[in-house]
Amino acid sequence: MAWAALLGALFGLLITNSSAGASPWAVTLADHDDASGPERLDDRRRVLLVERVVITGREQVSERQIMTILEREGLVAGTELVWPDDERVDRVRNRLRATGYFKRVTLRVVPLPDDLTRVELSVDVVERSTVSVSDVYLGTSALTPFHGGIALAERNFLGRGVLLGGALVWGAQPRIARSRRQQAYKVFAEAPRLRSAPLGVLASGWFISASEPYRVAGAEDDPTPTLFQTFEYDRIGGQVGLSFPLTSRLEVAADYTFERIESFLPANPVRVDEAGVVHELDLDLLDGTHRHTAVDFSFTYDGRDELFLAGKGGRVVLDIRASSGATGSEYDYIKLVAAGAYSFRLPWRHWLTPRASGGQIGGRAPLFERFYSGDLSAWTPGRTQGLRYSTRNPFDVFGTGIDNREYGDLFGRVDLEYAWPLFRRTRTRGVYGGDLYLSLGVFTLVGNADERRRRRAANEARVPIGAAADLGLRLDTALGTFNVSIGNVLRRTPL
């Protein structure tokens, strides 16, 4: 130890000029608390007084949001800071990063002139865009030559943590006589928390102008537009809701939906099948101007933080929608939808996620509330903002007749997804991470009682099974999550 102390003193003298030219080992010292002199390698802790806190680089995020996090950790003007390794500094940095508002967060200590104990604490931030693209609608089909649109969301509106979003989609003239262009517009705002109160609020509004195709001739799996006619309806309405976090992972929500529907139904719609038999059609919508209202109760269990801490976690959602005269509606039905997924981290750091979802409708729901086969298949166009831009049904991989189904009152779907993380980074010029994924699954869609009777009489499967598989790249970008997959291409092309 005496030798070490002597060496330490000798090296202490050399340190003054230690720089690039000197071998780094030449200035290596053992840890000596008894070293002295102005050039000693001093890393002893020191208590500093934070004279003021300065925030720089802020544009969209409010100062209040940053200060709230600093206050929670007690790093405000007038408090003491243990330099150089106060744990609160790391915690503040991580908390600010966890908000998702910042690309870069640096806490800096700036000494005040001629003062060894009083400092300015500078919080330098570089914001990331809080605008995200929720969806890009772009496609073409045998029915609609082109439809396109976008859904955007701002996650920190006015620097108050309010989610504000909107979506619009517009389609070209369908290839059916006397049809019209379909379009939809939607805006919504959601405050997941009202200040510190355990309460969230939601409001949204929409206008949808639909030209819904219905089959009048041909085989049920034939998507040729000339075999269809359309009927028009407009929906204008909104939704208001409240959410309550029961625990940090479990949230319940209650919403009220109200809309005015103006529909123009054809008189006595019929379909003539290949055998020439005429079938009367129920278009699942009331005629003329009427009301549709509903109350929703939803339960969301979100265990995703467990996923990143323990390598496994899940999310479960249950939604119950009821519509009747009691809610002011002219429709009577109840709709139940549940979905859940659970992810496991495999020993080689890939992820396996089984997923299941299902739903049932009791009563007579309007057409746009019924389950649609295109929404369940990975390869078939689903509805976009409630609009149907294609007449193509799912591929019948198993030969069970799923390609004959359009709407149903009962569905189920199970998938297994294998995800292969390719890269992940905190600092980026646009792409934060990418995963390659492969999912395999099956689904079913079952019609209402009338349809089931008809299928049984025709000796067709009442519970057809469809295949759902996809392979693609999931990119987490500054603008949102994008999937580049085979299913995405198939859904957007006129096969």
Residues 139-158 that bind other proteins (CB under 8 A): 151, 153, 155
234 with 211: CB under 8 angstroms? no
Helix (H) or strand (E) holding 450, with range, is helix 449-457
337 binds other proteins (CB under 8 A): yes
Residue among 190 and 229 whose Cβ is closer to other proteins: 190
Q: CA–CA separation, 237 vs 185, rounded Å?
A: 11
Stretch that binds other proteins, among 214-222, 228-236, 270-278, 375-383 (CB under 8 A): 375-383
The residues with which 351 forms a beta bridge, in sequence order, are 345, 419
Stretch that binds other proteins, among 258-266, 270-278, 315-323, 402-410 (CB under 8 A): 315-323
Residues 109-138 that bind other proteins (CB under 8 A): 109-111, 116, 124, 134-135
Per the structure block, which two tokens stand in for 385?
A: 């903002």
141 with 392: CB under 8 angstroms? yes
Q: CA–CA separation, 471 vs 486, rounded Å?
A: 6
Per the structure block, which two tokens stand in for 126?
A: 């570089």
Residues 248-267 that bind other proteins (CB under 8 A): 248, 251, 253, 255
Give min distance, CB of 160 to other proteins, in A: 12
Which residue type, as a one-letter code, is found at position 460?
A: E
Give min distance, CB of 47 to other proteins, in A: 14
Which residue type, as a one-letter code, is found at position 30?
A: A
The one among 129, 353, 400, 477 contacting other proteins by CB under 8 A: 353
Residues 430-459 that bind other proteins (CB under 8 A): 432-433, 435
Residue among 225 and 441 whose Cβ is closer to other proteins: 441
355 binds other proteins (CB under 8 A): yes
456 with 462: CB under 8 angstroms? yes
Identify the CA nearest to 141 among candidates 391, 434, 430, 403.
391
319 binds other proteins (CB under 8 A): yes
451 with 371: CB under 8 angstroms? no
Give min distance, CB of 376 to other proteins, in A: 7
**One character per residue 58-97, x = contact with other proteins (rule: CB under 8 A):** -------------------------xxxx--xxx--xx-x
Give min distance, CB of 481 to other proteins, in A: 6
Give min distance, CB of 26 to other proteins, in A: 9
Q: CA–CA separation, 151 vs 357, rounded Å?
A: 24
Residues 265-294 that bind other proteins (CB under 8 A): none
Instruction: For strands 118-127 and 46-56, give the pairing.
Output: parallel
